[in-house]
Chain A
Amino acid sequence: MRRKLRLTVVGIAILKYAGLALGAFFMLLPFAWMIVSSFMSAAEIMARPLRWLPAELQLRNYEALAAAIPLGNMYANSLIVTISITVGVLLTSSLAGYGFAKFHFPGRDILFVLVLATMMIPFFVVLIPIFFLVRQLGWMDSYLGLIVPNIVTAFGIFLMRQYMLTLPDELLDAARIDGASELAIYWRIALPLAGPALGALAILAFVYHWNSFLWPLVVIRSRELATIPIGLNSLRVYASSPEVINLQMAGAALAIIPVVAVFAVLQRHFVRGIALTGIKG
């Protein structure tokens, strides 16, 4: 009896790991093939039956890639834009979230409903007006055009407000009695206490804007300002030769590998951040 039970347990465990491993195989296969084929020659990519590994590493693909797209610029642009947006989102969201959570003033609830209402407006709905607005402001094809329209999000305000509600009023009142200014209280007490929510929001905003495509696609003109997704997109061509495939794979690999490295280091924070925004406990 016990033995049978033991066998079922082992059987279930095997099934479980087999399932997990099968899934993991499919999750990793595209990445693996991307890296392998980025080192292949065009002939090897076209070879049938399939070749699993390149005979020799074709570093030429990466050289051709560096000549085809401005990799350095792309990384710098993506970093500048994404960091600026993330910092902007953290500041505006925490300020407004704190204001909504910890102050009483006429019209507060109506204004908060307004925040919630704008949360329901997806970006594509306002794409054309914002494009027009950015043009009127003279921000086309500039960092300002990429950054400014994104530095406030209703979701961020909502998230920070919900979190700030949990901060004890007594702590803030004590600081007031000590004569601290409202801004100082926000900066020295509320913000540090909101660390977990800030971290979660930072990660979400960073990942989202690092990968963002539609907005840069309409606002960016010059090669020098291309972000990583825009630069990669320019590798797509109609009339291709097979050489384009390994070039594209090399480009994708260079875009993906650093992100994977950062993710590997910060994995725990990513997971916690996303879990936090999903379920607030």
Chain B
Amino acid sequence: MSIAIPSVARVANGAAPRRRPYGRRALAGYGFITPAIVFLIGFALLPFLFTVYVSLHDWNMLTAVTSMPFRGLDNYRYLIFEDPLFRQTFANTFVFAAGNVAISSLLALGVALLLNGEVRFPTFWRAVYFLPYVTSSVAISIVWANLYHPSYGLFNGILELFQLPGARFLASLETAMPSVIAVAVWHAVGYYMIIFLAGLQSIPLEVYEAAKVDGANAWHRFRSITLPLLRPTLLFVAVVNTLGSLQVFDLAFVLTNGGPVNATNTVVLYMYQTAFNFTRMGRASAMAVMLFLVILVITLVQLRLLREKE
């Protein structure tokens, strides 16, 4: 069993070929990969380098590429030292990611464990939990914004029926971010549940049987068998979930547009606003580069940490 996260080393080892002289077939090989490679260079690699280039300049996309004024690290310096909003969006993004990754992963694991044993109507339960994942984040954000509406929303309506005080949800500084996280968890929990289920089902039943014979109770079995054997899956979920969470845009844009007072503004949303409302492409590119570096480092650290324990 291997994980769909690339490791250069492993890929190189795993693919160690029986060396053969390159022949006419080598040409065919180039033929197969050329469309994709040309495309990746044109639509990913070069654009990436261009982002780095633009981040060192001032550019409103109207002046020619060749004549954008060079600003060195000015955009970075401004964002890091002089723009409190950038620092805030960074903090917000991390709070969102930490909350979303922790809660959705735990809940997904919990549901997967419940569904993994003997259960009636497994397809039904699975479908119910997975359902939100296939729906558009814009559509569900619109629905949730109305559920959260302080005066006409369902949630406050229900609270009122039980004579409980209502909440402001997206309208208050304290509850806005938790409310956005709740939507994100609801949206994604089914996806991670499916992945956990697949991981759980790949653990051979015999291992459990053996442990049962040895008198291990459920908790022990979970700790000494399930968790270790599930580590690759945990790794995958943690990495993918973190990557996605740090790039959150749709929910912040549709649910709150970053408000109130930027309490839910995220780096990608702020970058979008900087680029497309105020056409400050240089500054927006610098934001992109910084978030990219942070994501890269976090991913590498995660891979490292979880791998070491293997």
Listed in ascending order, the chain A residues whose CB lies under 8 Å from chain B are 16, 19-20, 23-24, 26-31, 33-34, 37, 45-46, 48-50, 92-93, 95-96, 98-100, 102-106, 108-109, 111-130, 132-133, 149, 151-152, 154, 157-159, 162, 165, 182, 186, 207, 210-211, 213-214, 218, 228-229, 232-233, 235-236, 242, 245, 248-249, 251-252, 255-256, 259-260, 263-264, 267-268, 270-271, 274-281
Q: Is B263 an interface position by the 8 A CB rule?
A: no
Q: Is B139 an interface position by the 8 A CB rule?
A: yes
Candidates A121, A128, A235, A252; contact of B281 at CB < 8 Å: A128
A201 to chain B, nearest CB (A): 11
Residues of A contacting B126 in the complex (Cβ-Cβ under 8 angstroms): 267, 271
A37-B136 CB under 8 A given contacts A128-B275, A263-B131, A280-B2: no
Q: Is B142 an interface position by the 8 A CB rule?
A: yes
Q: Is B128 an interface position by the 8 A CB rule?
A: yes
CB atoms of A270 and B135 under 8 A apart: no
What would 20 more interface pairs be, CB under 8 Å, given A46-B151, A236-B142?
Answer: A16-B117, A27-B128, A37-B146, A45-B152, A46-B152, A48-B157, A92-B36, A105-B30, A117-B45, A124-B291, A125-B289, A126-B44, A128-B275, A129-B50, A213-B253, A232-B138, A248-B143, A249-B142, A260-B134, A271-B194
Q: How many residues of B contact A (CB 8 A)?
A: 111
Residues of A contacting B134 in the complex (Cβ-Cβ under 8 angstroms): 207, 259-260, 263, 270
Residues of B contacting A162 in the complex (Cβ-Cβ under 8 angstroms): 4
Of all chain A residues, which has the CB nearest B117?
A16
CB atoms of A182 and B25 under 8 A apart: yes
CB atoms of B111 and A255 under 8 A apart: no
A150 to chain B, nearest CB (A): 9
CB atoms of B292 and A125 under 8 A apart: yes
CA–CA, A100 and B26, complex, Å: 11
CA–CA, A280 and B134, complex, Å: 22
CB atoms of B233 and A121 under 8 A apart: no
CB atoms of A122 and B4 under 8 A apart: no
CB atoms of B160 and A50 under 8 A apart: yes
CB atoms of A125 and B114 under 8 A apart: no
